[in-house]
Structure 1
Amino acid sequence: MYSNIIQIGTEVIGKEDFINALTLYEGGYGFFDYCSEVLEAYRKIVIEDFCSCILPEGMFTPIDENSLRYNGGIGKWTEEWVARIHGKAVKVSSENVFKFVGEAYWLKREIENPLDTNIRFFIDGEPMLSAGFMSWVSGLEEGTVLFFGGVIRYHF
Structure 2
Amino acid sequence: MHSRIFQISKKPINKECYLNKDTLTQEYDSYFDYYLEINDKLRKYNINCLVERVLPKGMFELTSENTMRYNGGLEQWKESFVADIRKKAEAINTANMIECMGPLYQLENTLKDPFDTAYLFYLDKEGIQSYDEHSFAFINFIHSLEVGTTLYIGGVLDYHS
Distance 1:14 1:7 in 2: 12
In the alignment, which of 143, 148, 153 is matched to residue 148 of structure 2? 143
Report whether the alignment pairs 1:128 with 2:133.
yes
1:31, distance to aligned residue in structure 2 (A): 1.2
Distance 1:27 1:42 in 2: 27
Distance 2:146 2:109 in 1: 27
For normalisation by structure 1, the TM-score amounts to 0.96
Report whether the alignment pairs 1:81 with 2:81.
yes
Q: Which residue of 1 aligns with 2:17?
A: 17
Q: Which residue of 1 aligns with 2:3?
A: 3
Distance 2:49 2:115 in 1: 13
Q: Which residue of 2 aligns with 1:26?
A: 26
Distance 1:3 1:59 in 2: 22
Secondary structure of 1:97 counterpart: coil
Secondary structure of 1:127 counterpart: coil
Give the letter for the 1:95 counterpart.
A
Distance 2:8 2:93 in 1: 39
1:98, distance to aligned residue in structure 2 (A): 0.6
Structure 1 unaligned blocks of 5 or more? none
Give the letter for the 1:63 counterpart.
T
Give the letter for the 2:103 counterpart.
E
Which runs of at least 4 in structure 1 moved beyond 3 Å after TM superposition? none
For normalisation by structure 2, the TM-score amounts to 0.94
Distance 1:31 1:24 in 2: 11
Distance 1:123 1:139 in 2: 13
1:141, distance to aligned residue in structure 2 (A): 1.0
Q: Which residue of 1 aligns with 2:117?
A: 117
Distance 2:107 2:37 in 1: 33
Distance 2:146 2:31 in 1: 32
Deviations 1:55-113 (A, max 9, x none): 11111121011111101111111111011000000000111111111000111111111
1:139, distance to aligned residue in structure 2 (A): 1.0
Identity of counterpart residues, as a percentage? Answer: 37
Distance 2:97 2:38 in 1: 40
1:27, distance to aligned residue in structure 2 (A): 4.2
